[in-house]
Amino acid sequence: MNNILVFGASGQLGHCLKRVTENSGISNIVFPDESSANILNQQAINILFDEYKPAYCINCAAYTAVDKAEDNIDLARKINKDGAANLAKACKQYNTILIHISTDFVFEGNVPRLLNEEDPAKPLSVYGLTKLEGEQDIITFADKYYILRTSWLYSEFGNNFVKTMLRLGKEKDQLRIIADQIGTPTYGIDLAKAILQIIESGKTDYGIYHYSNEGVASWFDFTKAIFDLTDIITEVLPITTDQYPTPARRPAYSVMDKSKIKSTFDMSIPYWRDSLKDCIAALI
């Protein structure tokens, strides 16, 4: 296997990739620091591509502050759209396969059914819009790419919902959590393994794919499961989206159909509660 170059190595998924590759003994994967791997700097990107001549480029870099993006549209667009375009152009120039991480937030999520890759994207937020624009630029500028849409990402690394709930559960006697937004929590370690499985397959079935853990949950269900797996006894009360307004609108139902990625890569995907147990065990 030739070199794999990771952008956004200091983020949550970057750390998950490091953990999985260390445990798998994969040594030909490069995690440059942000100072040399700035996706907004085409020259810096080309310098890295010149040095490592990667067969694969994994883009984990993104502006993911969903609510802040509503007031920082230019920055969100630069990172999520222009940065993705810069990598796509470099990948085409160097004949590199791009693996790019996108999101379920590209969907409106107003219909309670599984969303497949062919369903029309209609984002409700600046974050979702700029991630969709990044997808579109990759399709325009790159020949060989995998766009992986994922949802509700968490792990033992970085800032995420699981770690926030564990902290709040120790600080609060009662929490009010949204129960009418439905999706699927996704363990970053599982997503990292899926990315490496795609690479190791050597297949060339390029395009958009959906990946999350199996199953369905609300944020309320997710929180209850987190507390059930720990000794936290904080009371959790279900509320509606209207009772907790946020600057950015979220999809009400964004459970994704994973049939395509499972059949193409003969991939088995863990159930979300089973993966949550693994993450909690790692954190504890």
Q: Is 209 a catalytic residue?
A: no
How many whole angstroms from its chain centre is CA 196? 15
Q: State the virtual CA torsion across 153, 158, 159, 162 in degrees, nearest 10.
A: 60
| Run of H or E residues at 116 | none
The span from the CA of 121 to the CA of 168, in Å, is 34
Adjacent-strand bridge partners of 180: none
Give the max Cα distance, the chain: 56
Paired strand residues for 186: 153
For residue 206, how far is the Cα from the chain centroid? 18
Among residues 52, 56, 63, 127, which one is catalytic? 127
What amino acid occupies position 176? Answer: R
Active-site residue set: 127
